[in-house]
Amino acid sequence: MGSGDRAKKRIQLWKKALVHFALCFVMGFFTGFAPTSSVSLFAGRDTEALRASIADAGAGANRSLMAELKSLSDAAADSHRQLIVVTTTSSGDRWRDALLRRMSETLRLVPPPVLWVVVQAAADLDGAAEVLRKTGVMYRHLTFKKNFTDAAAEADHQRNVALSHIERHRLTGIVHFSDLSNVYDLQFFQEIRNIEAFGAWPMAMVSANRKRVVVDAPICNSSNVLGWISEDLSNDKFRDLRNLIKTAEMKMKPTKIDISGFAFNSSILWDPERWGRRSTSVPDTSQDSIKFVQQVLLEDETKMKGIPADCSRIMLWHLQYYSPRSSN
């Protein structure tokens, strides 16, 4: 191909490029005058009606979406509410360290946040602190110096030490008193996270040595507590709890609820306006907090929630065992 032919070919290529550029420019120029939305094709009232319809649909969808998001947010807040599990230890209990390890294995399976508050006599610290450090559970180890000869009085004092600590540091969550010999269905911990003020549930007290089983349970309509039952099933084949509730004699109000049979919102310890407690800027450490909680619990059943919703399932068993203070 000669130099003249090559020049002609270049000119033809440039002409084609200019033609394509011109066509694109013209199409772009006229496209700018085209309507940007189908709404603008309508005029007058029809346009306004269409816009109003779209706005109403959007507002309705937003309201529905916001309601759904709020419901999901509330459910998520309940499912992530902190649990404050308070455990007391008996002085001289030779099974203490083993039971602490067993309880820690249970709490490790509970979704966080979980705070384990363990109370112990200052003179009886050997081994327990080391056990707690290796559990992998978030904990606070509290001690006291007072000496006791009565195990029940010592346990109540330990619970008051724990409640004073919770009140002083404003630890927010659902408080549950867990005995070292308790056995749990893990669903129990998720259920008590839904408590707003107070919660109560069926409990089975099992004594292997005495071959005795006692069931204490609230009777519920949905999650509202209507009354209570206490049945000794030692000489009877264990019946379904629903049938037991139907046949047992209902007590309108118990004289006392087992310490592991209820839980409560920790805010009752420092919210005087809501709970009727006298206002004070300094925690009243001289007050018997555990008796205060039990009193409020029994006085106002309207704020109590049955766990689970129909109170027809046992999720906590208390194993009673003999634990001598000496090797004998």
The answer on 126 and 257 residing in a single domain is yes
Q: Please give the structure tokens belonging to residue 306.
A: 């049955």
Amino acid at 28: G
Phi, psi (5° rounding) for residue 155? -65, -45
Number of domains in the chain: 2
Q: Does residue 131 sit in the same domain as residue 180?
A: yes
Same domain assignment for residues 207 and 172: yes
Q: Give me the pLDDT at residue 16, please.
A: 75
Look at residue 227 in the predicted model and tell me its pLDDT: 85
Contact 231, 248 (CB under 8 A): yes
pLDDT digits (tens, 9 = 90+) for 43-90: 444 445 545 554 555 555 555 545 444 444 444 455 689 999 999 998
Tell me which of 293 and 116 has the higher pLDDT: 116
Distance CA 147, CA 124 (A): 11
Average pLDDT in the 141-155 region? 90
Range in 114-118, 127-131, 236-240 with the lowest mean pLDDT: 236-240
Identify the pLDDT of residue 85.
98
Residue 107 has pLDDT above 80, yes or no: yes
Least confident range of 95-99, 189-193, 292-296:
292-296
- Residue 106 located in a structural domain: yes
What's the confidence (pLDDT) of residue 234? 72
More confident residue, 108 or 277: 108
The Cα diameter of the chain in Å comes to 120
Residues 216 and 164 in one domain: yes
- Domain finish residue from 79, 103, 133: 79
The 8-class DSSP code of residue 326 comes to: S
Residue 240 lies in a domain: yes
Does 24 fall in a domain?
Answer: no
Pairing of strands 114-121, 83-88: parallel
Asked if the model's pLDDT at residue 280 lies above 50, the reply is no
Last residue within a domain, chosen from 79, 111, 132: 79
- Mark out the alpha helices in the chain (DSSP H runs): 3-31, 44-79, 96-108, 128-133, 151-168, 187-192, 241-247, 272-275, 289-299
Residue 3 within a domain: no
Tokens 């001598």 belong to residue: 324
Domain that holds residue 51: 39-79
Picking from 53, 79, 105, the residue at the C-terminal end of a domain is 79
Instruction: Map residue 3 onto helix, strand or coil.
Output: helix
**189, part of any domain:** yes
Q: What is the Cα–Cα distance from 113 to 82, expressed in whole angstroms?
A: 5
Is residue 165 one of the residues assigned to a domain? yes
Residues 58 and 199 in one domain: no
Asked if the structure places residue 15 within a domain, the reply is: no
Inside any domain, residue 265: yes
**Is the domain of 55 the same as that of 202?**
no
* Alpha helices, DSSP H, located in 80-172: 96-108, 128-133, 151-168
Q: Which amino acid is at 293?
A: V
pLDDT band at 127 (very low <50, low <70, confident <90, very high): confident
Rounded CA Rg of the chain: 34
User: Do residue 73 and residue 192 come from a single domain?
Assistant: no
Give the three-class secondary structure for 8: helix
| Residues 102 and 204 both lie in one domain | yes
Q: Is the pLDDT of residue 309 over 90?
A: no
Contact between 324 and 211 under an 8 Å Cβ cutoff? The reply is no
CA–CA gap between residue 228 and residue 249 (Å, rounded): 9
Same structural domain, 53 and 104 = no
Residue 112 and residue 229 in one domain: yes
Q: Kindly compute the dihedral angle of the four CA atoms of residues 122, 128, 133, 136, in this order, to the nearest 10 degrees.
A: -130
Q: Are 116 and 256 members of one domain? A: yes
Domain containing 289 — which CATH number?
A: 3.90.550.10
Do residues 307 and 184 lie in contact, with contact meaning Cβ atoms separated by under 8 Å?
Answer: no
Q: Are residues 71 and 126 in the same domain?
A: no
**Quick check: 290 and 256 in contact, CB under 8 A?**
no
N-term to C-term CA, the chain: 117
Q: pTM (2 decimals)? A: 0.71
